[in-house]
Amino acid sequence: MKRIGMLTSGGDCQALNAAMRGVVKTMMNSDEEVEVYGFLDGYRGLIYGNYRMLQSQDFSGILTKGGTILGSSRTPFKTITDPDENGLDKVKAMKQNYYKLNLDCLVILGGNGTHKTANLLRKEGLNVVTLPKTIDNDLYGTDMTFGFQSAVDIATNCIDCIHTTASSHSRVFIVEVMGHKVGWLTLNAGMASGADIILIPEIPYDIKKIADAINKRKKNGSRFTIIAVAEGAISKEDAKLSKKEYQKKLKDSKYPSISYEIADKIKQVTGEEVRVTVPGHTQRGGSPCPYDRVFASRLGSEAAKLILDGEYGFMVGYKNREIVKVPLEEVAGKLKYVDPDSSIVKEAKMLGISFGD
Amino acid sequence: MKRIGMLTSGGDCQALNAAMRGVVKTMMNSDEEVEVYGFLDGYRGLIYGNYRMLQSQDFSGILTKGGTILGSSRTPFKTITDPDENGLDKVKAMKQNYYKLNLDCLVILGGNGTHKTANLLRKEGLNVVTLPKTIDNDLYGTDMTFGFQSAVDIATNCIDCIHTTASSHSRVFIVEVMGHKVGWLTLNAGMASGADIILIPEIPYDIKKIADAINKRKKNGSRFTIIAVAEGAISKEDAKLSKKEYQKKLKDSKYPSISYEIADKIKQVTGEEVRVTVPGHTQRGGSPCPYDRVFASRLGSEAAKLILDGEYGFMVGYKNREIVKVPLEEVAGKLKYVDPDSSIVKEAKMLGISFGD
Amino acid sequence: MKRIGMLTSGGDCQALNAAMRGVVKTMMNSDEEVEVYGFLDGYRGLIYGNYRMLQSQDFSGILTKGGTILGSSRTPFKTITDPDENGLDKVKAMKQNYYKLNLDCLVILGGNGTHKTANLLRKEGLNVVTLPKTIDNDLYGTDMTFGFQSAVDIATNCIDCIHTTASSHSRVFIVEVMGHKVGWLTLNAGMASGADIILIPEIPYDIKKIADAINKRKKNGSRFTIIAVAEGAISKEDAKLSKKEYQKKLKDSKYPSISYEIADKIKQVTGEEVRVTVPGHTQRGGSPCPYDRVFASRLGSEAAKLILDGEYGFMVGYKNREIVKVPLEEVAGKLKYVDPDSSIVKEAKMLGISFGD
Amino acid sequence: MKRIGMLTSGGDCQALNAAMRGVVKTMMNSDEEVEVYGFLDGYRGLIYGNYRMLQSQDFSGILTKGGTILGSSRTPFKTITDPDENGLDKVKAMKQNYYKLNLDCLVILGGNGTHKTANLLRKEGLNVVTLPKTIDNDLYGTDMTFGFQSAVDIATNCIDCIHTTASSHSRVFIVEVMGHKVGWLTLNAGMASGADIILIPEIPYDIKKIADAINKRKKNGSRFTIIAVAEGAISKEDAKLSKKEYQKKLKDSKYPSISYEIADKIKQVTGEEVRVTVPGHTQRGGSPCPYDRVFASRLGSEAAKLILDGEYGFMVGYKNREIVKVPLEEVAGKLKYVDPDSSIVKEAKMLGISFGD
């Protein structure tokens, strides 16, 4: 008999349901008797004891469904050890609910922040298995996270649409792709859609190099230029600021997001008309792509196997096309960045894509 | 022997290529010999004599292609009778190029502004046949315009994506749909995607009614509310302003678009967190949907028939499921609005959708 | 207080759920108190008293969901008045279950066969309101049926895919589109995807004319020919047979479907290699397209209004862009065919499409 | 100065154009002067000297386009060393055309058969670089081939559509997925779409085990069963036959494909109604998915780099998320099968999927 608690935390993404279905179907297909408690709205459900018991039929038909049947919320790691507004010790509360339900293990699906808290719970003595969920693909210790490929598909479709309209008019188009800290999503969606310029946080840009790329295209007879800009794109000058200084600068900015600032700069330097599109949260939504469905199902299945084998304290990740277990302490608090010298960036440059550097 | 000139003007949309293919395939399949001149970048090509002769193979494979192979530009009707920056009389120049090429007819694809200029050219003695292109479906004299259904599909997919992410978090989501003057696109995309509140220019909103709708949903246990907002949505108070006053107000606004202002107001009145998504120009892009491909092909085919029959001065439109010819003077300068008392609005309200009125 | 029973009958299609949601949301938003009983698996549920009471939440999130939450089955009209294998009088049983539940009205969603039975129940004194569901768009009394546009989208996407592969090889491709009796689906999907030849039941074909069209394309330098074939396509010779003779011929045929026979004939006459693709039931599945979601919701809403007003015995249809009520006796047993002399067929021919006639 | 010849051979697939664009864009962006000759219709163009010189603009806009701008054909390796019907020595002819154009290298895009011929040409002294193209993902020496993920997407969408219709009726549905020799495509599409049973060539099936799986689902209250069947699925008895015996059996079979035979067997054993869908060549068509576009572009880019560096005789493959060069002699003539004991198969089984074994 195994009693597991499950929760999804942080910004939602595609294939959360597929992953949970994978865990539960595998456990229910095993010889072990299983009870599954779903905590609602992320860690908040674990803190306040808000949960419901889940049955086999709760997982029927959700393989292709976006979002999360458990709901989610952002519970910042920074404040997790602080008491809540009523003085409740949140970590203690989570432990109490864990023990009250007599759980064998918590299955936690989340991204970077979520993993920090999961690792804290592990250190507090709870059995934890985690699954790497994020459209950013920035989790350390795994080649891939689920949600990523689905988000690439949506962002790519978006730039595809802009492509046909851009080629009809003579304009510069910016599409702002999600990613505050890392550029995987922008890099892949940009390459997939034939973007001419790609700006990512890991490669600070020089506005003059961007202008050069636009002007070179114009000289070669191209009517338009498409720029894929990560939310966290940063100029070479701004990259020299301290984190604090830069955050203040962003906060005081008159622009709703960095893309609008870049658009203005380009207009000033080149005289070109620039249009900005912000697909925003659509990148987290919709049915997971087939790649993510298979991948999340496989991860879920192997997570269940770990639990059935009594192996705890791991993130289930992906390395060299095999599902692997990675110790949580190796993962928590680290990000996987795009290496400016990696082969994929070099290949993109060989294809003629400018990174503004 | 027929010599036709063709141009696409105004904001681009899906199925422009399908419509042009329809015209040219039909003419080339007829017994008549045909020469087709494509003017580049809308009226600008006609003004400055910028064109190329088009062959059968130019139209091969473009049925499914977004954008326009001729390029487009916005040439405001307001200034069409003004000389250009070099003192050129634009109307005279268009006539000269028409006569120089010895054209039998101009085929003009465009929306509201385009039709005003087309009608001017007709009054100047040129033979003109037009095709109703716009994602706004706001052209007078036709039940439907091509581009509309494709844009509905894209905006709907966008709201679908937001739906899954909204249901995972407890939030209010605004999706800004194109449409500065009319609400057809927002109304249809909103109904198709199950939006809870739809705000369109034709039905000014009361922020309190919006708040009521949000609170009612909350009381009934719904975690989220989705609002489809047309770019030209307007509050009851603002609707009382003169056009001039309101435009000044918009210009001085600190918000990049009306959705951000509505988001702020909702937050103030309800305390709810609100997220805004702006799919923007993606709504004009991508491959036309099958409906638009059939529809634009049919329109193009009948436009060709008019030309072969020597019937000029018409827009080819759609009435009661038949392709019809509508005299240009009946169309030019008029818009087709959503009637707040129409059955589709009543049906939307019966379904529980709030218009904030 | 209104008590309604609801059922979906016949081959399933997209937007059945959207339509039912439209009925129930409208009734629940009215001042009337409402009870909804869902009969399972079509008329079978009504015959054998197999139903469940439906709540508001049963209709949440189903707007975009394909299939039918009530299940469906084919209950042939031919045998509806015959006793079942246990001697049960089916018509009597349906009436008994109707009266036992004290229903005010039956809401029946279905196609041609379904409407015959619905009309029978009306004549037996039951209150009935029906909704026109079929991917075939062949229901008499309405310009459009829901499911049709979604099926057009799927069949078109299928032919689009074949298009890219066909243009890479030198081949003739046949795509078999659903439609045993009418050609609306094949005609629209064929036009939308740029099929070169379209074969529909209403226009019997001559294999020599098909060969001519293929050879003409080849002479003009086209590498491939794409043929959209309705399941019920028929040759001119076969069209002369009596219905009985033809059905015997079909039954004795060595081909799994007509497309394979046509493929063989083309190969014999032209020597070309022919490939057949049969998308089959996929054309009924998947999420309804935005057009169908709006349309089915509107129909459902107006059906609810009829019930609330106590108006029974109607199919809710669509005429000239308005939702209308059509007396059931005018609808039952009649099909809406493609008229070979209609403008859409003429337009298709003007575009260069061959119908093999 | 580099002169390259390029050809695409075998069944077409998605992202062929993307890969060729990657090669050519990279070469044209380099300091080297480049001339590109495209041989038409696969090896046939090389044999008969049918080619055209390709310019930069030939590669504009083809990143997202399915098919191949060069055309393709199947030129069986078996007969490549035989003279053609006019006595022409095909291998000699290919060499002559290579030398006549003074080529530095041939870029050959293809699957298994294509690689055998490419290796032959290498052994004959020609410089060859190849790219792994196939929806089957069965090429030895690379973790992935382009076309595969796009085909998974199409097959998955197809089964998704069947899912909604299956759940509305009580039936067994078979979807026949491409793959005569290997099961990668069926395995992935089946897992992605939640198929209940997956039959692949590498795991011979027992019809009784299939019946058991169907009956178990029925007992658990499931209305339907979905079976993904690879074209090359084989029963345990047939797997015992010699290759020759089995091919004779297939040839003499009354069924158009294996799925129809399996359908009949299931009906006999379980009494269930079974429907077969054959998406066929659609699986090769349409726009490549974003994954394939990025992947094929990267491969093309690295192929160009090899040529620029004068490194020949390699297939450009993918290993552990890096693009690698693999000696052609290691690749040619070998297939990459699904290992029945691999972790992905085990995971699928843990998820409750039956392989009928």
Integer Cα distance of A218 and A199 in angstroms: 20
- Asked if C189 lies within 8 A of B290 by C-beta distance, the reply is yes
Test the D interface: residue of A347, A349, A354 with most D CBs within 10 Å: A347
CA–CA min distance C211, chain B (Å): 18
**Tens-digit pLDDT profile for residues D322-332:** 999 999 999 99
CA–CA min distance B287, chain C (Å): 11
Which band of pLDDT confidence, cut at 50, 70 and 90, is reported for residue B74? Answer: confident
Which band of pLDDT confidence, cut at 50, 70 and 90, is reported for residue B76? Answer: confident
Of B30, B289, B352, the CB nearest to C29: B352
D297 touches chain A (CB under 8 A): yes
Contacts by A266-273, CB closer than 8 A, 24 or more apart: A266/A172, A266/A207, A266/A210, A266/A211, A266/A214, A269/A207, A269/A208, A269/A210, A269/A211, A270/A172, A270/A211, A270/A214, A270/A215, A272/A171, A272/A172, A272/A214, A272/A225, A273/A171, A273/A172
Q: What is the pLDDT of residue A254?
A: 85
- Report, as an integer, the average pLDDT of C291-310: 98
- Asked if A168 lies within 8 A of B276 by C-beta distance, the reply is no
CA–CA min distance C130, chain B (Å): 17
User: For residue A160, what are the contacts with CB-CB under 8 A and spacing of at least 6?
Assistant: A193, B285, B286, D64
Which band of pLDDT confidence, cut at 50, 70 and 90, is reported for residue C170? Answer: confident
What are the chain B neighbours of C66 within 8 Å (beta carbons)? none
Bridge partners (DSSP) of residue C275 are C173
- Asked if D276 lies within 8 A of C280 by C-beta distance, the reply is yes
Integer Cα distance of D165 and C68 in angstroms: 8
Bridge partners (DSSP) of residue C268 are none
- Give me the active site residues of A, please: 136
Which band of pLDDT confidence, cut at 50, 70 and 90, is reported for residue A320? Answer: confident
Q: What is the pLDDT of residue B172?
A: 95
Q: What is the pLDDT of residue B189?
A: 98
Q: What is the pLDDT of residue B248?
A: 95
- Asked if D285 lies within 8 A of C161 by C-beta distance, the reply is yes
Q: Please check the confidence at residue A191 and state whether its pLDDT lies above 90.
A: yes
Q: Which residue of A has its CA nearest to B171?
A: A73
Give the chains touching B; criterion: ≥3 Cβ pairs < 8 Å: A, C
Looking from the CA of B237 toward its CB, the CA atoms found within 13 Å total: 4
Q: Please check the confidence at residue B338 and state whether its pLDDT lies above 90.
A: yes
**Tens-digit pLDDT profile for residues C142-153:** 999 999 999 999
- Report, as an integer, the average pLDDT of C24-46: 97
D63 touches chain A (CB under 8 A): yes
Torsion of CA B118, B120, B122, B123, to 10 degrees: 170
Q: Please check the confidence at residue A301 and state whether its pLDDT lies above 90.
A: yes
Rg of chain B taking only CA atoms, in angstroms: 22
Q: What is the pTM of this model?
A: 0.96
- Asked if C63 lies within 8 A of B344 by C-beta distance, the reply is no
CA–CA min distance A319, chain D (Å): 8
CB B282 within 8 A of CB A277: yes
How many residues appear in chain B?
Answer: 357
Set out the domains of chain C in order of their start, with CATH numbers: 2-147+286-331 (3.40.50.450), 152-284+339-350 (3.40.50.460)
How many residues appear in chain A?
Answer: 357
Test the A interface: residue of B152, B156, B161 with most A CBs within 10 Å: B161
Sort strands A51-54 and A34-39 into parallel, antiparallel or unpaired.
antiparallel
Q: What is the pLDDT of residue C102?
A: 97
Bridge partners (DSSP) of residue D54 are D36
A280 touches chain B (CB under 8 A): yes
Integer Cα distance of B308 and B59 in angstroms: 19
Burial of C256 (0-12, 13-18, 19+ CB in 10 A): middle
A219 touches chain D (CB under 8 A): no
Of C71, C154, C168, the CB nearest to D161: C154
Bridge partners (DSSP) of residue C108 are C7, C130
A339 touches chain D (CB under 8 A): no
D217 touches chain A (CB under 8 A): no
CA–CA min distance C329, chain B (Å): 24
Q: Please check the confidence at residue A100 and state whether its pLDDT lies above 90.
A: yes
A14 touches chain D (CB under 8 A): no
Q: Please check the confidence at residue B154 and state whether its pLDDT lies above 90.
A: yes
Question: Cα separations (Å) of D66 from C349, D39, D284, D285?
Answer: 28, 18, 8, 6
- Hey, what amino acid is at B23? V
Q: What is the pLDDT of residue B320?
A: 87
Q: Please check the confidence at residue A169 and state whether its pLDDT lies above 90.
A: no
**Tens-digit pLDDT profile for residues C252-277:** 998 888 999 999 999 999 999 899 99
D136 is catalytic: yes
Q: Please check the confidence at residue D92 and state whether its pLDDT lies above 90.
A: yes
Integer Cα distance of A275 and A294 in angstroms: 37
Which band of pLDDT confidence, cut at 50, 70 and 90, is reported for residue A341? Answer: very high
Integer Cα distance of C55 and B338 in angstroms: 33
Q: What is the pLDDT of residue D295?
A: 98
Residue B206 has phi, psi (to 5 degrees) of -115, 120
- Asked if B67 lies within 8 A of A278 by C-beta distance, the reply is no
**Tens-digit pLDDT profile for residues A9-48:** 998 899 999 999 999 999 999 999 999 999 999 999 999 9
Q: Please check the confidence at residue D255 and state whether its pLDDT lies above 90.
A: no
Q: Which tokens hold the place of B99?
A: 């006569």
Of D67, D275, D287, the CB nearest to C281: D275
- Report, as an integer, the average pLDDT of B145-152: 98
D352 touches chain A (CB under 8 A): yes
Residue D176 has phi, psi (to 5 degrees) of -90, 120
Q: Which tokens hold the place of D39?
A: 């041989």
Q: Which residue of B has its CA nearest to A66?
A: B164
D165 touches chain C (CB under 8 A): yes
- Asked if A320 lies within 8 A of D322 by C-beta distance, the reply is no
Integer Cα distance of B290 and B304 in angstroms: 21
Q: How many other β-carbons are positioned within 10 Å of the β-carbon of residue C247?
A: 11
- Report, as an integer, the average pLDDT of C15-40: 97
Place of tokens 């949440």: C60
Describe the strand order of the beta sheet including D314-319 as a list of residue ranges.
D51-54, D34-39, D2-8, D105-110, D128-132, D314-319, D322-327
Query: A285 — alpha (psi -120 to 50), left (phi > 0) or beta?
Result: beta
Of C158, C165, C278, the CB nearest to D12: C165
C305 touches chain D (CB under 8 A): no
Which band of pLDDT confidence, cut at 50, 70 and 90, is reported for residue B307? Answer: very high
- Asked if A169 lies within 8 A of B282 by C-beta distance, the reply is no
Question: Cα separations (Å) of B125 from A60, A151, B114, B121, B122?
Answer: 67, 53, 17, 7, 5
- Asked if C291 lies within 8 A of B160 by C-beta distance, the reply is no
**Tens-digit pLDDT profile for residues C78-114:** 899 999 999 999 999 999 999 999 999 999 999 999 9
Of C25, C321, C351, the CB nearest to B297: C351
Q: Which tokens hold the place of C1?
A: 């207080």
C160 touches chain D (CB under 8 A): yes
Nearest to B17 by CA among B66, B53, B60, B50: B66
Question: Cα separations (Å) of A298 from A10, A145, A147, A306, D288?
Answer: 22, 12, 14, 13, 24
- Asked if A352 lies within 8 A of D25 by C-beta distance, the reply is yes
Q: What is the pLDDT of residue B46?
A: 97
Helix %, strand %, coil % of chain C (to 5): 45, 20, 35
Residue A108 has phi, psi (to 5 degrees) of -115, 125
Integer Cα distance of C203 and C344 in angstroms: 13
**Tens-digit pLDDT profile for residues B187-237:** 999 999 999 999 999 999 999 999 999 999 999 888 899 999 999 999 999
**Tens-digit pLDDT profile for residues B309-323:** 999 999 999 998 899
Q: What is the pLDDT of residue C256?
A: 82
**Tens-digit pLDDT profile for residues D303-314:** 999 999 999 999
Q: What is the pLDDT of residue C320?
A: 87
Least confident of A196-200, C271-275, D185-189: C271-275
Burial of D162 (0-12, 13-18, 19+ CB in 10 A): buried
- Hey, what amino acid is at A8? T
Place of tokens 């009354």: D254
**Residue-averaged pLDDT of chain D:** 96
Question: Cα separations (Å) of D236 from A186, A321, C76, D348, D356?
Answer: 48, 30, 40, 20, 10
Q: What is the pLDDT of residue C4?
A: 98
Q: Which residue of D has its CA nearest to C285?
A: D161
- DSSP per-residue letters across A287-350: SPPHHHHHHHHHHHHHHHHHHHTT--SEEEEEETTEEEEEEHHHHTT-B-PPPTTSHHHHHHHH
Q: How many other β-carbons are positioned within 10 Å of the β-carbon of residue A255?
A: 14
Of A164, A279, A285, the CB nearest to B66: A164
CB D210 within 8 A of CB D195: no
Integer Cα distance of A201 and A235 in angstroms: 9
**Tens-digit pLDDT profile for residues A126-143:** 999 999 999 999 999 999
CA–CA min distance C285, chain D (Å): 4
Give the chains touching A; criterion: ≥3 Cβ pairs < 8 Å: B, D
- Report, as an integer, the average pLDDT of C300-316: 98
- Asked if A191 lies within 8 A of D25 by C-beta distance, the reply is no
Q: Active-site residue among B136, B153, B196, B292?
A: B136
C304 touches chain B (CB under 8 A): yes
Question: Cα separations (Å) of A184 from A145, A229, A279?
Answer: 11, 11, 17
CA–CA min distance B82, chain C (Å): 40
**Residue B131, SS3 per DSSP:** strand
Of C157, C158, C285, the CB nearest to D165: C285
A66 touches chain B (CB under 8 A): yes
What are the chain C neighbours of B156 within 8 Å (beta carbons)? 290, 293
D327 touches chain A (CB under 8 A): no
- Asked if C294 lies within 8 A of B188 by C-beta distance, the reply is yes
Which band of pLDDT confidence, cut at 50, 70 and 90, is reported for residue B255? Answer: confident
